[in-house]
Amino acid sequence: MNIFAYDFGYDGPWSYGHLIAAVIFAVMLGVSFWRNWPLWTKVLVDLLLAWSIAGYVILQLVLRINLPLELPTDNFLTAGTGQVLDAGAGSGRSSLMVLQGRPQSRVIALDLYAGYFGIQDNTPDRLYANARLAGVADRLEAKVGDMREIPLADETLDAAVSAYAIDHLEIEGIKKSFAEIRRVLRPDGEFLLMVINNDVWIRIAYPFFLHHGYFGPRTNIERWRNLLTDAGFEVLEQGTQPATLYFLVRKGT
């Protein structure tokens, strides 16, 4: 597990903010002993140092900010093969999750590739570079487009995933994206939705993390589920993994 192998482009504060804080607190701790600061300041700086190191470890190893994501369930695309849409693919963590986890699959990586969503220079070039590094570029096709108006024909895909992307949209955008994903799926097509879950991992790493998209500070599990069923999806599985809420749904009738 090499956190320096890929370049997913999550910029400074996201990738290294905790590390920078750790260096600052370590220096302060040294100064506190050197200048013989009162005990309580040493304890406080100690705690802050421990938090920043914990935050860095969570960010890298739990949130996998610089690593391909891992499928949260074995039940996704059990056939192991098929054409999969990654809605809001960005620099490729979720596309690599599918391509590595299901080595017979092909992925269409759809993204606006415009605007800022935490990724610096969010371009298909960066996505392809990461895919080449993983040895899966021959099964990947990047497509510039909006998931609220997917530029693909009806019922052409076996499955879809979307990781930490739809939760950036407003409610109308979420509804449109779900309808569009459902439209492009074949009748039995599956959709794996992954959104940020403001659980203990997120709260440790980002104590002041207020919201990630429309749903605000608390991840509203029921509301996500209702939006999916209202869009016509049938829920096959629902669960959490650290920092993540996921739903595996089927197009349904």
Ligand X SMILES: C[S@@+](CC[C@H](N)C(=O)[O-])C[C@H]1O[C@@H](n2cnc3c(N)ncnc32)[C@H](O)[C@@H]1O
Task: Show the tokens assigned to 18.
Answer: 């905790």
Residue 51 as a binder of ligand X (CB under 6 A): the answer is no
Q: What is the nearest approach in angstroms of ligand X to the Cβ of residue 191? A: 14
**Quick one: which segment of 47-55, 106-114, 126-134, 237-245 binds ligand X (CB under 6 A)?**
106-114
Binding test (CB under 6 A) with ligand X, winner from 32, 60, 94, 105: 94
59, 77, 108, 163: which one contacts ligand X (CB under 6 A)?
163
Least distance CB 144 / ligand X (angstroms): 9
Q: By CB under 6 A, is residue 32 in contact with ligand X?
A: no
Nearest distance, CB of residue 71 and ligand X, angstroms: 13
Nearer to ligand X, 8 or 76 (CB): 8
Nearer to ligand X among residue 32 and residue 177 (C-beta): 177
* Pairing assessment for the beta strands 104-111 and 185-196 based on DSSP bridges: unpaired
In the bound state with ligand X, the residue whose beta carbon lies nearer, of 49 and 89, is: 89
Q: What is 151-218 written as a DSSP string?
A: SS-TT-EEEEEEESSGGGS-HHHHHHHHHHHHHHEEEEEEEEEEEE---HHHHHH-TT---SSTTTTS
Phi, psi of 110 (to 5 degrees): -95, 130
Overall size of the chain counted in residues:
253
Q: How far is the CB of 200 from ligand X (least distance, A)?
A: 21
- Candidates 102, 106, 139, 148; binder of ligand X (CB under 6 A) is 148
Could you give the 3-state DSSP secondary structure of residue 251?
A: coil
Which tokens sit at 253? 């009738």
Closest approach of ligand X to the CB of residue 119, in Å: 6
Strand partners, 238: 247
**Six token digits for residue 38:** 């009162």
Stretch that binds ligand X, among 21-29, 51-59, 83-91, 200-208 (CB under 6 A): 83-91
- Which of 17, 101, 118, 252 contacts ligand X by CB under 6 A? 118
Which one-letter DSSP state was computed for residue 149?
B
CA angle, 96 then 133 then 115, to 5°: 60
Binding segment toward ligand X, per CB under 6 A, in 14-22, 75-83, 117-125, 219-227? 117-125
Q: How far apart are the first and last CA of the chain?
A: 41
Distance, CA of 226 to CA of 240 (rounded, Å): 17
- CA-to-CA distance for 93 and 102, rounded, in angstroms? 14
Instruction: Identify the residue among 56, 77, 93, 182 touching ligand X (CB under 6 A).
Output: 93
Site size toward ligand X (CB under 6 A) is 22
List residues binding ligand X (CB under 6 A).
8, 69, 88-90, 93-94, 110-112, 115, 117-119, 122, 146-148, 163-165, 168
